[in-house]
C-alpha cells in the first residue's frame, strides 16, 4: 500500500488548531500551539518527510485523545508555562506604548528621521547619486522641533490688534505748512496735550493716488486709506496692513442755488448758494451702508456720525477755534471724537472696531486743506506730481506719432508710390487690345 504524502506545515497547523479548539482549548492557546507546530515544521525542511509525517500522526493522536477527554466531561489541563528565553515568552510580552495611540505621550513625539539613500545598495543612477551627495553637503537636516501651526503663523504675520479703545479720541489735523500732511491720534490730554498716543499717520504721494498710511506707536503698519483716483476723488478706501479692503468712505457734495449763508459767505467766501456735504461709510465686503453723517455745511464745526437707523455712534467737534483755511503754521488743530456708549449690537458697537470713524475725520482734515468755496477740491501738490509723468508720457507719445507721420509724408510717400506702380506693372503688365472677331456682328 502506497503511503500518502504528509500534509504541508500550514495545513497541519490549521488542522491541529481546529481540533484543539473543538476539544475546548481557548482560541488564543490553540493559535499559539498551531504557530509553534507550524514553525517547527517549517524549520524541519522538505527533506524530512518521514519525521513530519510521524509528528503529524502524533498530533492527530493527541487531538483524538483530547476529543475523548472532552466527551467524558473532563476539563483540559492548561498548557505549561513557557520557559525563559523561548519564543513563547517573546510572543506573550506586552507591546510597547504607541505615542500615536497614547495621548499622554503624543506631545513628546518627534518626527521620524528622513530616509537616507545608500548610493550603492539602493542602486540609483550615477547622476542621482552625485546629485544626492552634492545636495546633502549644502542642505541642513530637518528640524527636530515640531512644525508651527497655521494659526500661529497667521498670528505672527497678522496686523496689529487694538486691545482697547478710549471713548474719546483726539485727532490732530495736519499743519498747512507741511509739505506732506501728517498727524496723530491720541487719548484726551487736556489743553496742553500729553494724551497717550494711539496712532500716527502721514501722506504718501504714490503714482496712482494719494495714500495716507497709519502706524501704531510701536512703528508697525496698521493700515492705509487710498483715494479712488487722481482728480476724481470722491471715494476713499480703507485697507488693513495686508492690503485687504475693509471699508470705503464716499464724500457727497451738493450745491443748492439761492441765497447764501451770510456767515459762511463772509468767513469762507462761499457766496454762490449753499454748499452741503455728506460722508457715508460702506462695508467693502458687501457694499452695505454702515454709517453716515447728516448734511453738513461747509467747514461745519460739529456733527454727528449715525448708523443707518439714525442711532448716534459718535460726535465730532473742533477742539479749539481754528479754521481749515487758516494758514498759521504751528497752530493747534484738533478734532475731538466722543463715542456714544451703545448697548445694542450693530455697526461699530465694539470699541476696538471704531477706528474707521477716526480715519474718516482724518480724511476730512486732509481734504479740507484744499477745499474750494464751491465744496470741491483743488488739485493738491501730490496729485499734480502724480499726473505730471502721465502728461509728459502722453506728450512724448503724441510727438513721436506726429514725427513719424511728417517723416512719411516727406521721405516715404514718393518711393512708396513708385514701388506700388512698379509692382502693378510686374503683376499685371499692359497688353495690346486685340479686337474680337465677333465685335461687328
The CATH code of the domain that includes 161 is 3.20.90
Query: pLDDT by residue (tens digit) across 292-338?
Result: 999 999 999 999 999 988 899 999 999 888 888 877 787 888 999 99
Neighbouring residues of 239: CB distance < 8 A, sequence distance ≥ 6: 223, 224, 225, 226, 245, 246
239, 255 Cβ separation under 8 angstroms: no
| 336 and 393 assigned to the same domain | no
Residue 203 domain flag: yes
Residue 193 domain flag: yes
Region 355-375: what's the mean pLDDT? 93
Percent pLDDT > 70 in the chain is 65
Q: What is the pLDDT of residue 423?
A: 92
Taking phi over 0 as left and psi of -120 to 50 as alpha, with beta for the rest, 194 belongs to left
Residue 267 domain flag: yes
Most confident of the ranges 18-27, 34-43, 205-214, 314-323: 314-323
Residue 404 domain flag: yes
What is the tally of structural domains in the chain? 2
| 193 and 266 assigned to the same domain | yes
Q: What is the pLDDT of residue 52?
A: 41
Rounded CA separation 380/357 (Å): 24
Distances in whole angstroms, Cα of residue 16 to Cα of each of 37, 60, 130, 132, 308: 9, 7, 56, 53, 86
Residue 52 domain flag: no
| 217 and 301 assigned to the same domain | yes
Rounded CA separation 387/385 (Å): 6
Query: pLDDT by residue (tens digit) across 66-78?
Result: 334 334 444 444 4
Region 130-140: what's the mean pLDDT? 79
Instruction: Name the 3-class secondary structure at 349.
Output: coil
C-alpha cell read off for 56 = 503529524
Q: What is the pLDDT of residue 384?
A: 80
What is the domain extent for residue 237? 157-377
Instruction: Name the 3-class secondary structure at 68.
Output: helix
Q: What is the pLDDT of residue 43?
A: 47
Q: What is the pLDDT of residue 2?
A: 45
Q: For residue 435, report the phi and psi dihedrals to the nearest 5 degrees.
A: -70, 145
Q: What is the pLDDT of residue 403?
A: 95
Q: What is the pLDDT of residue 274?
A: 92
In this predicted structure, the answer to whether residue 186 has a pLDDT above a threshold of 70 is yes
- The secondary element (H helix, E strand) that includes residue 312 is strand 312-318
Residue 349 domain flag: yes
Q: What is the pLDDT of residue 105?
A: 53
| 245 and 259 assigned to the same domain | yes
Residue 179 domain flag: yes
208, 230 Cβ separation under 8 angstroms: yes
Q: What is the pLDDT of residue 86?
A: 42
Distances in whole angstroms, Cα of residue 6 to Cα of each of 3, 31, 43, 44: 9, 21, 15, 13
| 353 and 407 assigned to the same domain | no
Per the model's pLDDT, the better-predicted residue between 317 and 136 turns out to be 317
Query: pLDDT by residue (tens digit) across 373-389?
Result: 999 988 887 778 778 88
| 191 and 295 assigned to the same domain | yes
| 194 and 246 assigned to the same domain | yes
In this predicted structure, the answer to whether residue 96 has a pLDDT above a threshold of 80 is no
Q: For residue 251, report the phi and psi dihedrals to the nearest 5 degrees.
A: -105, 125
Q: What is the pLDDT of residue 71?
A: 40
Q: What is the pLDDT of residue 152?
A: 72
How many beta carbons lie within 10 A of that of residue 358, not counting itself?
23
* Average confidence score pLDDT of the chain: 76
| 263 and 401 assigned to the same domain | no
Residue 89 domain flag: no
Per the model's pLDDT, the better-predicted residue between 141 and 346 turns out to be 346
Q: What is the pLDDT of residue 65?
A: 43
Region 258-272: what's the mean pLDDT? 89
| 329 and 412 assigned to the same domain | no
Q: What is the pLDDT of residue 136?
A: 77
Rounded CA separation 382/179 (Å): 9
| 273 and 402 assigned to the same domain | no
C-alpha cell read off for 29 = 492557546
| 209 and 334 assigned to the same domain | yes
Q: For residue 291, report the phi and psi dihedrals to the nearest 5 degrees.
A: -160, 160
In this predicted structure, the answer to whether residue 167 has a pLDDT above a threshold of 50 is yes
Closest CA to 347 of 286, 300, 268, 276: 286
DSSP state letter for 95: P
Q: What is the pLDDT of residue 419?
A: 92
Query: pLDDT by residue (tens digit) across 26-41?
Result: 444 444 544 554 444 4
| 343 and 416 assigned to the same domain | no
Amino acid at each position: 500500500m502506497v503511503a500518502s504524502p504528509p500534509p504541508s506545515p500550514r495545513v497541519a497547523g490549521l488542522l491541529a488548531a481546529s481540533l484543539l479548539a473543538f476539544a475546548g482549548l481557548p482560541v488564543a492557546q490553540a493559535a499559539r500551539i498551531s504557530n509553534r507546530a507550524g514553525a517547527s515544521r517549517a524549520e524541519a525542511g522538505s527533506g524530512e518527510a518521514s519525521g513530519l509525517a510521524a509528528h503529524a500522526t502524533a498530533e492527530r493522536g493527541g487531538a483524538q485523545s483530547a476529543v475523548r477527554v472532552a466527551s467524558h466531561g473532563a476539563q483540559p489541563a492548561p498548557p505549561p508555562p513557557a520557559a525563559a528565553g523561548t519564543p513563547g515568552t517573546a510572543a506573550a510580552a506586552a507591546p510597547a506604548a504607541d505615542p500615536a495611540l497614547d495621548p499622554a505621550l503624543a506631545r513628546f513625539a518627534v518626527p521620524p528621521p528622513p530616509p537616507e539613500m545608500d548610493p550603492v545598495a539602493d542602486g540609483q543612477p550615477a547622476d542621482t547619486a552625485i546629485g544626492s551627495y552634492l545636495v546633502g553637503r549644502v542642505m541642513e537636516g530637518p528640524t527636530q522641533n515640531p512644525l508651527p501651526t497655521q494659526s500661529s503663523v497667521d498670528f505672527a504675520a497678522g496686523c496689529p490688534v487694538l486691545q482697547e479703545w478710549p471713548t474719546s479720541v483726539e485727532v490732530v489735523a495736519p499743519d498747512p505748512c507741511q509739505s506732506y500732511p501728517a498727524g496723530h491720534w491720541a487719548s484726551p490730554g487736556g489743553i496742553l496735550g500729553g494724551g497717550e498716543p494711539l496712532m500716527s499717520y502721514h501722506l504718501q504721494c504714490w503714482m496712482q493716488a494719494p495714500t495716507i498710511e497709519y502706524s501704531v506707536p510701536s512703528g508697525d503698519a496698521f493700515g492705509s486709506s487710498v483715494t479712488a483716483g487722481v482728480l476724481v476723488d470722491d471715494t476713499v478706501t480703507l485697507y488693513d496692513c495686508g492690503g485687504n479692503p475693509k471699508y470705503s468712505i464716499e464724500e457727497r457734495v451738493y450745491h443748492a442755488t439761492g441765497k447764501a449763508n451770510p456767515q459762511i459767505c463772509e468767513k469762507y467766501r462761499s457766496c454762490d448758494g449753499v454748499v452741503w456735504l455728506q460722508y457715508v461709510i460702506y462695508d467693502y465686503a458687501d457694499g452695505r451702508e454702515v454709517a453716515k453723517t447728516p448734511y453738513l455745511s461747509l467747514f461745519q464745526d460739529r456733527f454727528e456720525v449715525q448708523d443707518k437707523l439714525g442711532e448716534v455712534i459718535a460726535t465730532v467737534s473742533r477742539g479749539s477755534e481754528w479754521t481749515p483755511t487758516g494758514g498759521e503754521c504751528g497752530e493747534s488743530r484738533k478734532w475731538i471724537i466722543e463715542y456714544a456708549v451703545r448697548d445694542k449690537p450693530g455697526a461699530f458697537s465694539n470699541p476696538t472696531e471704531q477706528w474707521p470713524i477716526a480715519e474718516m475725520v482724518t480724511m476730512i482734515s486732509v481734504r479740507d486743506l484744499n477745499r474750494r468755496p464751491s465744496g470741491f477740491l483743488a488739485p493738491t501738490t501730490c496729485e499734480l506730481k502724480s499726473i505730471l509723468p502721465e502728461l509728459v508720457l502722453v506728450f512724448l507719445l503724441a510727438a513721436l506719432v506726429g514725427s513719424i507721420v511728417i517723416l512719411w509724408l516727406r521721405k516715404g510717400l514718393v518711393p512708396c508710390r513708385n514701388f506700388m506702380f512698379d509692382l502693378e506693372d510686374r503683376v499685371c503688365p499692359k497688353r495690346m487690345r486685340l479686337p474680337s472677331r465677333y465685335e461687328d456682328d
